[in-house]
Amino acid sequence: MECEFPTINSNKQEIREIFDITKTIAVLGLSPDESKPSHRVAKYLQAQGFKIVPVYPKEETILGEKVYRSLSEIPFAVDMVDIFRKPKELDNVADACIARGDVKVFWAQKEIVNNEASARAKAAGMRVVQNMCTMVEHRDLQEEA
């Protein structure tokens, strides 16, 4: 599989603003397995005071939160979608975010880049971050403060 270089991305100042406006984070692909990056990242974000919404095909609860099977099932506003899925799946994720109409941030985790999906998300008014870890970026900003 050929890797894409992110041509659409936020800078440090925009990332700071993203964390300032974000309260609720839907984590797509949040694994119940504590050894998986998605679990560690979500647990960190939850400990920092963010409301975590697991989106996963099975399980009833992860990190003490109700699990939803898809973004469309979440019955309340979502500020950020933090994506732990394969790059090709971001096309569908972007469509689901656009359909919701309330997602402010489309964040693709480390090593996940899909410029076409990101361009659609940005055109729909979302801030876009690709190939960066929410935990690492948040921690870096806390250390700078």
Residue 50: give its domain's CATH number. 3.40.50.720
Domain that holds residue 20: 12-144
Q: Would 2 be classed as within a structural domain? A: no
Report pLDDT for 10: 74
Q: Would 4 be classed as within a structural domain? A: no
Q: List % helix, strand, coil for the chain (3-state, nearest 5).
A: 40, 20, 40
Report pLDDT for 1: 40
Q: Would 133 be classed as within a structural domain? A: yes
Q: Would 120 be classed as within a structural domain? A: yes
Residue 8: both structure tokens together: 């659409």
CB 71 within 8 A of CB 81: yes
Domain count, the chain: 1
Which pLDDT tens digits describe the chain residue by residue (145 residues)?
A: 456 677 777 788 899 999 999 999 999 999 999 999 999 999 999 999 999 999 999 999 999 999 999 999 999 999 999 999 999 999 999 999 999 999 999 999 999 999 999 999 999 999 999 999 999 999 999 888 6
Report pLDDT for 4: 67
Report pLDDT for 138: 96
Report pLDDT for 3: 62
Q: Would 5 be classed as within a structural domain? A: no
pTM, full prediction: 0.94
Q: Would 1 be classed as within a structural domain? A: no
Q: Would 53 be classed as within a structural domain? A: yes
Contact partners, residue 66, CB within 8 Å, separation at least 6: 53, 54, 60
